[in-house]
Amino acid sequence: MSGRSGNGARPVIGEPEHVLPPLGPGSLTPFFATAPNPEATRRLLLVFFYFAPSAEVGALRWLSLARFGAQRRWAIDVVTLRPEFMGIIDRDRLAQLPPGVRLFGFSGENPGWYRAMLAAWRRFGSGGGTRAADSGLAGHLDGNDLTGAFATPDAPAWRRAFRSYVHFSLADLFTRRASALGSALARENRYAVVVSSGPPHAAHDTARQIADGARLPFVMDMRDPWSDDSATPEELRSEAWRRAARAREARCVTAARLVVVTSPAHEELQIAKYPSLRGRVTTVMNGADPEPLPSSRARERFVIAFAGMIYLGRDPRALFRAAARVAREAGASPAEFAVEFMGDDACEGVPLTSIAADEGLGAYFRSHAFRPRNEALEFLAEASLLVSLPLRTSMTLPAKLFEYSRFDAWVLVLAEPGSATEKLLAGTDANIVAPDDTDAIAKVIATRFAEFRAGARPVALNSDGRFDRATQSARLFDALDVLAQEGIAAPVER
């Protein structure tokens, strides 16, 4: 994006379009800022490492909350990674930011010791590691970027412990860099509250330190669980991981004036772990946004679609196997039956096209590279059946479900019985199936395909508005307003 957008955005970033120029370490110049919000009376400091223009689906939560916050007279400064360290970016997301938002970036460059370790591993180990070496610090905090034997779930315990040590060493470095930037901002601006959003959970430790130094209330937005066993990456599972994660979570939870989670199940978990949290924890789910959608097409082909990242735990093999069976038994041709994915083109390093071929789906499958959000919405509008792949933890809700709920499409959700997802969708027309139950997945696909052939067309799950985001957003900003009123919330400087 260059020039001005329709919402009054004033980019500080420059040409060329696909590369955002680096800023000096600790720079207090935003790499992007929208026009000031003339109605704003207080300012919030948000620590969110993968905020816009990151293409991560988690970024959509605060992209939408920022718009609601602007309506509630909040201006927002964001401490985030510089875009060149975010991985895949979607510059269109910057155009969706409201007035009064400034983005400040810090470096995700790998430290020298880490580069040396990877070089040694490539030389004496598996020969891999190129991606990890080039991806920058940020790429390692989700627990799945180191390559070779260190990244395998069945690695010896000492390797998983060593990798956990590396992970938290990087996280602490990440925290120091972000805290230095955020603390400098707090010295130059009058904030009413400091908010963190994670994962990466290092954002919480960062916001805690900034808030403590500036004597401001700290609000902790946990989009996913942190230290419980269900959230532990398999390739990092070790006593070293548990000790480090629990210690960091405990000090953040203890310091937080408010802990925000995204499902009632996660709220119950946090209270069970930290009884003192009762009264300081609340659920603010994601929700369906009111933005316009592409109109649904007159479909002649039955398309099963997924758009997003293929994280660890999101294995599409059972889905591919079931879809191949339905196509074969129904005598469907690729012209009338298809499975299409947009976003990641591989699962755990194996190309999706190879997995599809192995499962007998090759002729019916197509993998699309990442596309900007507007193109992704066009892609979803073409689908007859939208698929949500499973999460690693059953206590959180896939953000994409709320987006899926707005399309006139059937929805197939791969989730464990009793999960937060199953509870959310109870009473809707969504089909909820255990992730590895190939027979049940095939039954759902066969039923929907038969309905499609008979001329039936689906209706959006959110046609009655039950999943609208406005109610959830109001819960959060009601709480932030109370915290701001308890302190000395000075007017925002014009």
Percent share of the chain, pLDDT over 70 = 85
What would the pLDDT profile of 445-470 be if each residue is shown by its tens digit?
Answer: 999 999 999 999 999 998 888 888 88
User: So what's the pLDDT on residue 468?
Assistant: 83
CA dihedral 263, 267, 268, 274 (to 10 degrees): 160
Confidence (pLDDT) at 111: 84
The residues, ordered by sequence, that sit 6+ positions from 138 with a Cβ below 8 Å of its Cβ are 49, 50, 81, 85, 86, 87, 108, 174, 200
Whether residue 30 has pLDDT greater than 50: yes
Q: Give the tens place of pLDDT for each residue, 76-122.
A: 999 999 999 998 888 989 999 999 999 999 998 888 888 787 777 76
DSSP-assigned letter for residue 46: E
pLDDT for the residue 312: 57
Q: What is the pTM of this model?
A: 0.77
The answer to whether the beta carbons of residues 277 and 259 sit under 8 Å apart is yes
* Contact predicate 66/48, CB 8 Å: no
* Residues comprising the chain, all counted: 494
At residue 7 the predicted structure's pLDDT band, cuts being 50, 70 and 90, is very low
Strands 385-388 and 346-347: unpaired
pLDDT tens across 311-344, in order? 655 789 999 999 999 999 999 999 999 999 998 8
Q: Give the Cα separation of 220 and 197 in Å (integer).
A: 7
Grouping H, G, I as helix, E, B as strand and the rest as coil, residue 416 is: coil
Strand-pair category, 302-308 with 337-343: parallel
Is the pLDDT at 209 greater than 50? The verdict is: yes
Query: 36: which residues sit within 8 A by CB, 6+ positions away?
Result: 75, 99, 100, 494
Using alpha carbons, list the distances in angstroms from residue 254 to 200, 244, 265, 278, 281. Answer: 19, 16, 20, 12, 11
Mind listing the domains of the chain with CATH numbers? 9-109+168-286+470-486 (3.40.50.2000), 302-453 (3.40.50.2000)
> Mean pLDDT score of the chain, rounded to an integer?
84
121-167 tens-digit pLDDT: 767 654 443 343 334 444 445 443 443 434 555 667 888 888 888 88
Beta bridge partners of 195: 46, 219
